[in-house]
Amino acid sequence: MLDGKVAIVTGGGTGIGAATARLFASKGAHVAVTSELAAEAMAPVVETIRAEGGKASAICCDIMDRAAIAALVEGIERDQGRIDFLIQSAGVCFAGPIETMEPRKIDLTFGVNVVGAISMIQAALPAMRRAGGGAIVNISSGAAVLGVHEMAVYAASKAAIAHFTRTLAAELRRTNIRINSIGPGSTRTQMLGFTDDELTDEQQAAMVRREARSLSPYGNAMIEPDEIAQVALFLVSDAARALHGSFVLADQGVSSAMLPPAS
């Protein structure tokens, strides 16, 4: 399905990024797993892919460093000959009252979730044009359309990247490069524990369980990273050629469940 294709997956060391990297590799793509994590931290993902017969490489990159991003893209195109897909799963999330939210957390949230994602696209587009086209998938969040308690900054950053995706689609309409975003609901990843060292692991786990119970219209299971990876795979496939600039909510119907019942 993806034989001969090359995909960059940011935030590929954990969660949705790791699941997407494994899935794309299983379909024949060479996957460049990128993260600001040390190479050893990404090793389990790459080793799993290779053990299953796939092709992958791990590359450390700070998504807030434009020079590092440029070097990353240049190196991948040089080594693999092309870049076809960019899946942007890198992200941070801080929860808390807006009155006490530290400026550094606000800056980091927008720096990674918005500016970093845009910088990756700026760097990757020329290579994707040279490859004859491709697809970009930005991982946004269901929080982009549904208010979540004490997550205003995170929600705003994810709404920003979703609308950036929609707007950029018009600019890319003659490039043979499609761009879409996904709005996952409560997904079982480290992100749902929030990137906040002020919470213990037990507190984070309890918060995740409460959110899953309160938000899921089914009242049970959280979404698994593999399920979001399947959506990303569909969006880069030829079967999704009609989708360009779309925001795909993959939230188990959470957003619709919040609406009042029809009279």
- Residue 1 is encoded by which pair of tokens? 């399905």
Asked if 142 contacts 255 with a C-beta cutoff of 8 angstroms, the reply is yes
DSSP-derived secondary structure letter, 202: H
Query: Quick count: other Cβ atoms within 10 Å of Cβ 99?
Result: 5
The full 3-state SS of 37-92, as one line of letters, equals CCHHHHHHHHHHHHHCCCEEEEEECCCCCHHHHHHHHHHHHHHHCCCCEEEECCCC
Annotated catalytic residue, options 85, 154, 164, 247 = 154
- Residue 68 is encoded by which pair of tokens? 């590092």
Q: Are strands 177-184 and 134-139 parallel, antiparallel or unpaired?
A: parallel
Q: What sections of 142-224 are H helices per DSSP? A: 152-171, 201-215
Task: Match 């801080």 to its residue by tokens.
Answer: 94
- Residue 229 is encoded by which pair of tokens? 């990876």
Asked if 154 is an active-site residue, the reply is: yes
Closest by alpha carbon to 15, among 222, 225, 229, 227?
A: 225
Active site residues: 154
